[in-house]
């Protein structure tokens, strides 16, 4: 094969530019509970509580128990720091499942706040 044939098969790529999305500069007062380890959510909530007076822990479905655990760890293990559980809201959301049917999924919102 000649060099001309090799050069014809060469593909050049240009680097793509990515646009960076900026989040609102407001406080991040909601912690969404998922599948991470429990203490990851506890530390995240405590960090947010150090900066703002109230944080809402939200979960749905199978993660509701983990959200309750997070709020209990914060209120019981850090009694000296002065955190309490505020309002608790229970609800449900209608979600479409993979097979196309509508299913109701339970939700919970737990407010954790500093004592004043």
Would you state the structure tokens that stand for residue 5, as one six-digit string?
């044939």
Would you state the structure tokens that stand for residue 18, as one six-digit string?
């990515």
pTM listed for this prediction:
0.72
Q: Which of 24, 51, 55, 53 is nearest to 42 (CA)?
A: 55
| pLDDT for the residue numbered 79 | 72
Q: What is the pLDDT of residues 20-65, one digit of tens each?
A: 444 444 457 999 999 999 999 999 999 999 889 999 999 999 999 9
| pLDDT for the residue numbered 110 | 96
Domain boundaries, the chain: 27-114
Euclidean distance between CA atoms 82 and 30, whole angstroms: 19
| pLDDT for the residue numbered 28 | 79
Fold of 27-114: Translation Initiation Factor IF3 (3.30.110)
């Amino acid at each position: 094969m000649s060099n001309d044939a090799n050069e014809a098969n060469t593909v050049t790529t240009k680097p793509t530019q990515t646009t960076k999305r900026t989040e609102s500069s407001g406080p991040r007062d909601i912690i969404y509970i998922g599948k991470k380890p429990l203490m990851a959510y506890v530390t995240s909530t405590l960090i947010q509580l150090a900066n703002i007076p109230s944080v809402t822990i939200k979960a749905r479905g199978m993660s509701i128990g983990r959200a309750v655990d997070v709020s209990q760890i914060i209120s019981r293990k850090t009694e000296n720091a002065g955190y309490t559980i505020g309002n608790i809201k229970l609800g449900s959301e209608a979600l479409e499942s993979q097979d196309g049917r509508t299913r109701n999924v339970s939700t919970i919102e737990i407010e954790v706040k500093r004592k004043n």
